[in-house]
């Protein structure tokens, strides 16, 4: 009798960007105010953005496609969630910042959606009872400047139960100076150096990749990026 061959599952490879390495990037940084050369969104503009999204949503529930920090820190009580794939988009560290997790002397990068490829993440449902309040809080967090109000949009995502329309935040081509395409090596340099009052970019990368690993989501570029950032941090002599 022939025996069916068995295949041992490979043990998961540990992240090279460890918590100890991330700790090296953390320091106390004073808040320097808004991003230079950008106009903080006004309360009126934010209300208009909320109304625009509500009008576009109509009577439908509002789902948000989360692919980065919204996965591990949504900032609102999620009433339901599903794994989802956005085809035609991919996550990339391409949003240049000089505040929050960076400074003008040591700029950094945050995640945004860029066109091309596919992106696996989550869709999060805003609670009906507090939908407008939570939507306003979400938009205030993600759209901080009036010049980037077009960086919120709807995308179609696929889930195990079918397709849904979800709100998300993307790297608008109209904001090229803010969202230029950046090579992984250049991104690793910026992420390794940047820290601001909200923490470091390396911490943000570590938390995002760790969360993806916990959800059994493999993002090849982010996995390679955490290895590259770890290598750069290891090359810096400790004080």
pLDDT of residue 239: 66
pLDDT of residue 236: 85
Spatial CA neighbour of 93 closest among 190, 18, 196 = 190
Average pLDDT, the chain: 91
Rounded to the nearest 10 degrees, the angle between the axes of helix 201-214 and helix 220-234 is 140
Both tokens assigned to 30: 């004073």
pLDDT of residue 3: 39
Spatial CA neighbour of 19 closest among 187, 197, 228, 203 = 203
User: pLDDT confidence of 147, banded at 50, 70, 90?
Assistant: confident
Residue 230 vs residues 2, 171, 180, 181: alpha-carbon distances, Å: 47, 26, 23, 22
Q: Is residue 85 part of a domain?
A: yes
Number of other residues whose CB lies within 10 A of the CB of residue 238:
6
Domain extent, residue 106, equals: 36-235
pTM: 0.90
Catalytic (active-site) positions: 142
Both tokens assigned to 190: 């910026």
Cα dihedral 70, 146, 113, 22 sign: negative
Q: Is residue 173 part of a domain?
A: yes
Q: Is residue 5 part of a domain?
A: no
Q: How many structural domains does the chain have?
A: 1
Q: Is residue 73 part of a domain?
A: yes
Residue 3 vs residues 8, 68, 108, 147: alpha-carbon distances, Å: 15, 45, 55, 65
What lies within 8 Å, CB to CB, of 10 at 6+ separation is: none
Q: Cβ(53)–Cβ(130) under 8 Å?
A: no
What lies within 8 Å, CB to CB, of 163 at 6+ separation is: 156, 157
76: domain CATH number is: 3.10.490.10
pLDDT at 218 over 80: yes
7 vs 201, more confident = 201
pLDDT at 196 over 80: yes
Q: Encode pLDDT of 45-100 as tens digits.
A: 999 999 999 999 999 999 999 999 999 999 999 999 999 999 999 999 988 999 99
Q: Is residue 129 part of a domain?
A: yes
Separation between Cα atoms, residue 118 and residue 13, nearest integer Å: 23
pLDDT of residue 10: 39
Q: Is residue 7 part of a domain?
A: no
- Which residue's entry shows tokens 């230079």? 36
Q: Is residue 9 part of a domain?
A: no
User: pLDDT confidence of 5, banded at 50, 70, 90?
Assistant: very low
Separation between Cα atoms, residue 26 and residue 196, nearest integer Å: 8
User: pLDDT confidence of 156, banded at 50, 70, 90?
Assistant: very high
Q: Is residue 20 part of a domain?
A: no
Q: Encode pLDDT of 128-141 as tens digits.
A: 999 999 999 999 99
DSSP code string of 36-66: TT--BPPHHHHHHHHHHHHHHHTTSPPEEEE
Distance of CA 118 to the CA centre of its chain: 15
Separation between Cα atoms, residue 172 and residue 174, nearest integer Å: 5
Q: Where are the beta strands (DSSP E) in the chain?
A: 63-66, 80-97, 108-125, 152-159, 162-169, 195-196, 199-200
């Amino acid at each position: 009798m022939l025996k069916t061959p068995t295949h041992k599952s490979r043990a998961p490879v540990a992240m090279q960007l460890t918590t100890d390495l991330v700790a090296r990037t953390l320091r106390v940084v004073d808040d320097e105010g808004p991003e230079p050369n950008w106009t903080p969104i006004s309360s009126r503009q934010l209300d208009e953005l909320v109304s625009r999204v509500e009008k576009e949503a109509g009577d439908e529930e509002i789902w948000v496609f989360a692919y980065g920090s919204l996965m591990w820190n949504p900032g609102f009580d999620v009433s339901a969630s599903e794994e989802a794939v956005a085809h035609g988009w991919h996550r990339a560290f391409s949003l240049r910042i000089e505040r929050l997790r960076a400074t003008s002397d040591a700029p950094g990068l945050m995640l945004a959606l860029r066109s091309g490829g596919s992106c696996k993440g989550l869709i999060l449902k805003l609670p009906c009872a507090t939908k407008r309040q939570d939507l306003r809080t979400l938009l205030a967090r993600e759209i901080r400047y009036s010049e980037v109000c077009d960086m919120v949009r709807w995308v179609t995502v696929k889930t195990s139960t079918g397709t849904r329309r979800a709100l998300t935040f993307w790297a608008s081509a109209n904001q090229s100076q803010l969202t230029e395409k950046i090579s992984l090596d250049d991104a690793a340099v910026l992420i390794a150096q940047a820290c601001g009052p909200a923490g470091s970019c390396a911490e943000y990368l570590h938390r995002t990749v760790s969360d993806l690993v916990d959800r059994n989501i493999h993002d090849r570029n982010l996995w390679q990026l955490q290895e590259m950032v770890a290598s750069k941090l290891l090359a810096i002599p400790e004080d």
